[in-house]
């Protein structure tokens, strides 16, 4: 008889308050003498609470620690979703059949060589794979809500890159609402690009005199999704960006979710910056404005986007909180804020980001944010 994959509740097993710095070394779920000779661990983890277990750098696991393969698969999927870094140190084809292939591949990867940033990226990929394949909510794709990306642009020279990012999203129930903010002649040819999108897409036009808030209200009115996602035309997004936001909304229960601007490219000095380390997976404000997700019903409840030219993201956060709603920031991976120096809505100098930096790397390094090579660096 074929065994089914394990399933769990996202509200119970999730990475809320994930600790960025482990404190407990390398642990195991069973006696050290059952490990194969090549596996290394410091001590046995005596507690079973996933929130405690994720403080280990990683956990080494073998089938001898478990009564049967089904219970092993169930436990490992739940731990991975909670943010426990797992290393499966033995080959077990039966386990591979019960776990999602990507999750099993990640668990089979040796994490000893990872530095702190590589470990965090590995954990994010592991918990995303676990939540997508093994949470009872996410794997039923016929019940997933439709999401509408609201992309507003007054910069025709830059919008094509973001259109490609939207088209590459892995979330299966997605549409695009592109609002062109300004002179129609400046966006010549954009309709053909939108028509070629591999997902439903609508173009909305508003005059250049319209505020950003009113442009977003026009986009929201044209959208058909129950979830609304704001993306900016000059930032960079990984293929799982929408999934990350939708999952975070489900497991956090917050009305407004987004990402922290943890990775920034400074075009003027050609530097990639890692900032705000450890500020993800928390109930906190100050989300990156190009990463906001809110349900249409919650947006309607607060009266829509404020009719303001600047600070529309901060205004939305304030309105949600004043209405009694929650704000949650998931991890920053899969998103890169780009400072190209050309008509930013949020005008601030490079020194602001450098002052927050945990690490500064010369050049254009999209891999720092878990992004694939996006071609040439964004220019000024």
Last residue of one domain, picked from the residues 134, 158, 188: 134
Strand partners, 178: 151, 203
Co-location of 208 and 100 in the same domain = no
Co-location of 272 and 178 in the same domain = yes
Asked if residue 15 is part of any domain, the answer here is no
Asked if residue 153 is part of any domain, the answer here is yes
Last residue of one domain, picked from the residues 85, 110, 134: 134
Co-location of 278 and 353 in the same domain = yes
Asked if residue 377 is part of any domain, the answer here is no
Tell me what pLDDT residue 376 has: 66
Co-location of 127 and 159 in the same domain = no
Tell me what pLDDT residue 342 has: 54
Co-location of 241 and 331 in the same domain = yes
Co-location of 92 and 240 in the same domain = no
Report the 10 Å Cβ neighbour count for 218. Answer: 20
Asked if residue 18 is part of any domain, the answer here is no
Task: Going from the first residue of the chain to its last (380 residues), give the mean pLDDT of each consecutive group of 10, the final group possibly shorter.
Answer: 76 96 92 93 90 95 95 97 97 93 96 93 97 92 93 87 94 96 79 92 93 96 98 95 98 97 92 89 94 98 95 96 97 91 58 81 92 68
Co-location of 122 and 167 in the same domain = no
Q: What is the pTM of this model?
A: 0.94
Asked if residue 170 is part of any domain, the answer here is yes
Asked if residue 241 is part of any domain, the answer here is yes
Here the CATH number for the domain that contains residue 286 is 3.90.550.10
Tell me what pLDDT residue 345 has: 52
Asked if residue 299 is part of any domain, the answer here is yes
Co-location of 99 and 150 in the same domain = no
Last residue of one domain, picked from the residues 134, 154, 176: 134
Buried b (16+ CB within 10 A) or exposed e, 79-102: bbbbbbbbbbbbebeebbebbbee
Tell me what pLDDT residue 344 has: 45
Co-location of 193 and 49 in the same domain = no
Domain of 129, in residue numbers: 26-134
Residues 6+ apart with CB under 8 A from 356: 273, 275, 276
Number of domains the chain contains: 2
Asked if residue 3 is part of any domain, the answer here is no
């Amino acid at each position: 008889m074929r065994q089914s994959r394990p399933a769990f509740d996202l509200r119970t097993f999730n990475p809320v308050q994930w600790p960025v710095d482990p404190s407990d070394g390398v642990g195991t779920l069973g006696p050290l003498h059952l490990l194969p000779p090549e596996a290394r661990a410091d001590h046995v983890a005596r507690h079973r609470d996933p929130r405690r277990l994720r403080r280990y750098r990683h956990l080494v696991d073998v089938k001898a620690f478990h009564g049967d393969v089904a219970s092993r698969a169930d436990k490992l999927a739940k731990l991975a979703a909670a943010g426990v870094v797992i290393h499966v140190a033995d080959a077990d084809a039966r386990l591979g059949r019960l776990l999602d292939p990507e999750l099993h591949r990640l668990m089979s990867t040796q994490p000893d060589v990872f530095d702190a940033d590589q470990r965090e990226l590995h954990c994010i990929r592991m918990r995303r794979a676990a939540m997508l394949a093994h949470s009872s909510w996410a794997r039923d794709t016929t019940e997933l809500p439709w999401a509408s990306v609201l992309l507003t642009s007054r910069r025709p020279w830059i919008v094509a890159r973001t259109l490609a990012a939207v088209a590459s999203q892995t979330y299966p129930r997605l549409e695009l609402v592109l609002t062109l903010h300004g002179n129609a002649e400046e966006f010549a040819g954009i309709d053909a690009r939108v028509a070629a999108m591999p997902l439903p897409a609508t173009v909305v036009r508003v005059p250049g005199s319209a505020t950003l808030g009113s442009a977003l209200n026009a986009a929201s009115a044209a959208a058909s999704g129950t979830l609304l996602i704001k993306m900016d035309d000059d930032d960079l997004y990984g293929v799982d960006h929408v999934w990350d936001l939708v999952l975070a909304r489900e497991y956090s229960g917050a009305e407004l979710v987004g990402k922290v601007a943890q990775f920034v490219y400074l075009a003027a000095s050609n530097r990639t910056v890692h900032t705000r380390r450890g500020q993800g997976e928390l109930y906190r404000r100050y989300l990156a404005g190009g990463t906001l997700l809110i349900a249409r019903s919650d947006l309607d409840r607060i009266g829509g986007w404020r009719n303001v030219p600047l600070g529309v993201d901060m205004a939305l956060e304030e309105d949600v909180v004043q209405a009694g709603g929650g704000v949650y920031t998931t991890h920053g991976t899969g998103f890169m804020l780009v400072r190209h120096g050309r008509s930013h809505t949020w005008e601030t100098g490079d020194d602001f980001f450098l002052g927050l930096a945990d690490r500064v790397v010369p050049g254009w390094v999209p891999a720092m944010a878990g992004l694939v090579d996006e071609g040439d660096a964004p220019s000024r």
